Amino acid sequence: MTESDLHLDVDLDEEFEPEDLEGPKPVATVGDPVLVVDDLHIVYRVFGGKAKQVAAKGAENVREAKAPKRSLLRRLVSSTSQHVGAVSEVHAVRGISFVARHGESIGIVGINGSGKSTLLRAITGLIPPRSGGVYVAGEPALLGVNAALMPQLTGERNIWIGGLALGLTPKQVEERFDEVVEFADIGDFVYMPMKTYSSGMGARLRFAISSAATPDILMIDEALATGDAAFKARSKARIDEVRKNAGTIFLVSHSISTVEAMCTRVLWVHQGQLVMDGGTEEVLAEYRKFVRAHRLARSSARAGGVGPRARSKQRPKKQAAS
């Protein structure tokens, strides 16, 4: 995978209409450290993967679990090794360190596959690190639409399961039940199995469930990308409310304007490494340049009449020539 092959479907402004984001810009009143990330490495074990082919294409963060030996025996065996014991590793986060302080809201940006979501999950403590560590005050919570619920069960059961899994007591779940249903705006569908929901309804319910508990540190993963304008406004209000209590916020989003409106500091992650860390304007200016340059390169390649398929056929020729 070369960089030009990476998907760059980054919204520059589409996701939020500017009027959705009215209100004062967040101002950081920075306090004590609440989260320290120390040289974090996350490695996924992937069974049945084709590390060799992918690695040959140049993706730096995928490699074979065992170093390939070039002995004759190894080469004889290698034809079967793809089917027996094919384990590869994806090095999704490669040595990230930073310190987050109380009162900061931190955006994480990067193109698809750069390791943003993995980083977010790792600092929430949901994916154990290969090496390095995450130190945190209080219990961070991930607010996302990916909270895996049980599609064959009714929305009602799912609210219970989600709420209890978040650490609420049965009494608290009961108290907040109506609020969750109202926020998700699904009405009587709450008594139907979740697999019958439209994707928007499902996403709204998941968001409503996962925002039912108010955590110390809040991690938001693309949660704002779902739903219609009314829901977006509501969810932004909910996040603002949570932010007032939470103190520290992490936000992963493809929408640069969302990050701009909500964050005081931005981390730019590229291929599992932290390439920039600083104030919102400074980092986003650079990141915009990067994304625009890539988009331009892609669209001019398309305009030249060379489709992706044709390009991939031409690449080996070019490599042979050079």
Nearer Cβ to other proteins (9/22)? 9
Q: What does DSSP say about strands 248-252 and 105-109: parallel, antiparallel, or unpaired?
A: parallel
Token pair, residue 216, equals 């110390």
Nearer Cβ to other proteins (204/270)? 270
Quote the least distance from Cβ 146 to other proteins, whole Å: 6
Quote the distance between the C-alpha of residue 303 and its chain's center. Answer: 31
Nearer Cβ to other proteins (23/307)? 307
CB atoms < 10 A from the CB of 166, how many? 18
Quote the least distance from Cβ 56 to other proteins, whole Å: 14
Nearer Cβ to other proteins (52/157)? 157
Quote the least distance from Cβ 229 to other proteins, whole Å: 26
How far is 24 from 21, CA to CA, in rounded Å?
Answer: 9
E strand map for 157-281: 217-221, 248-252, 265-270, 273-279
Quote the least distance from Cβ 154 to other proteins, whole Å: 9
Nearer Cβ to other proteins (121/243)? 121
Token pair, residue 28, equals 């950081």
How crowded is the C-beta side of 147, counted as CA atoms within 13 Å?
Answer: 27
Q: Which residue type does 140 have? A: P
CB atoms < 10 A from the CB of 287, how many? 22
Quote the least distance from Cβ 177 to other proteins, whole Å: 13
Q: What is the CA radius of gyration of the chain?
A: 22
Quote the least distance from Cβ 23 to other proteins, whole Å: 29
Quote the least distance from Cβ 277 to other proteins, whole Å: 5
Dihedral angle sign, alpha carbons of residues 198, 116, 88, 141: negative
Quote the distance between the C-alpha of residue 46 and its chain's center. Answer: 19
Nearer Cβ to other proteins (23/278)? 278
Nearer Cβ to other proteins (229/296)? 296
Q: Which residue type does 71 have? A: S
Three-state DSSP at 253 gives coil
